[in-house]
Amino acid sequence: MSKPQVVVTRRIPRAGLARAQEACNVRLWDSDEPIPRPTLLEWVRGVEGLYCLLTERVDDELLDAAGPSLKVVSTMSVGYDHIDVAACRQRGVAVGNTPGVLTETTADLAVALMLAAARRLPEAIDAVRQGAWSTWKPEWMAGYDLYGSTVGIIGLGRIGSAVARRVRGFDCRILYYDPYPNDAVAAAVGAEYADMDKLLAESDFVSIHAQLTPQTAKLLNADAFRKMKRTAVLVNTSRGGTVDQDALYDALRSGEIAAAGLDVTVPEPLPPDHKLLTLPNCVVLPHIASASYATRTKMAVLAADNLIAGVTGRPLLTPVER
């Protein structure tokens, strides 16, 4: 019996590729750079499965190019806003993502961004490298404490609650906003529900852990920044589109808020001449929240398992239900 034909759109961790190759005939785009769109549209013709990343747009054009043989789209990511899930469902194409396996690693990075932005670590590193470190000065490179602060978490799902567990170790007061409050989860992590206005007004750190939807697009905007403390730090490890970057630039430049730490932006990659990168109080990382060796391997294997389940007619391990 011949193996199902599938396309893998990027070089992925070895364990994930090996898992896919055991069960499928894999056509691999063997590069760290995204597969060109025309090539992808050609390669998907007649395949049964597509293993993709955030960079591949799965829309009517791609689904039409693939044709009726396509059974599953498996993305090596938690986010799936690059996939038209409704269009897939109309065609009977299952969609899988990789939630859960990157929760702890992403939460680690969210806390790292809190500390890096509040304690001005990139500025301090640059000062040492540029020879600006002359002597010990009482207020030079002074920042803000995470310990004993109030942390506001927007979205108390897997990652948001993992962040809450971590900042409890810093003796933080934890507020959270979620359109679907969960008293049991909140009690387990010591979080107190607050509406958005209260969260913004009282938090020293605001950490975003929300999916990108029409309701959350530019949720953190000029109006939100006006409600925040001037000493507040914004952290975003969710989706770049949840923040109005023009309004964030203005808030940081004017001192309306103190600092920001971003792992996600619009666009990605952020151009090196982008105005946010001119600000010393804005720490920007290249979307590396899940980038530990162990976690990226788990993501690759889970995406492969979803792919295999889809092409063999079995339920996906982690289907997108929307």
Q: Could you give the residue numbers annotated as active site?
A: 287
Strand partners, 282: 260
Amino acid occupying residue 140: W
- ∠ CA 23-9-88, rounded to 5°: 80
Tell the residue number behind the tokens 């013709």, with chain if given.
45
Only one residue has tokens 């859960």, namely 100
* 7-10 contact pairs (CB < 8 A, 24+): 7/40, 7/43, 7/44, 7/47, 7/49, 7/50, 7/51, 8/51, 9/34, 9/35, 9/40, 9/50, 9/51, 9/52, 9/53, 9/55, 9/56, 10/34, 10/35, 10/52, 10/53, 10/55
d(CA 82, CA 84): 7
Q: How far apart are CA 163 and CA 189, in angstroms?
A: 9
Measured at the CA of 252, the angle between CA 170 and CA 276, to 5 degrees, comes to 105
Whether residue 118 contacts residue 281, with contact meaning beta carbons closer than 8 Å, is answered with no
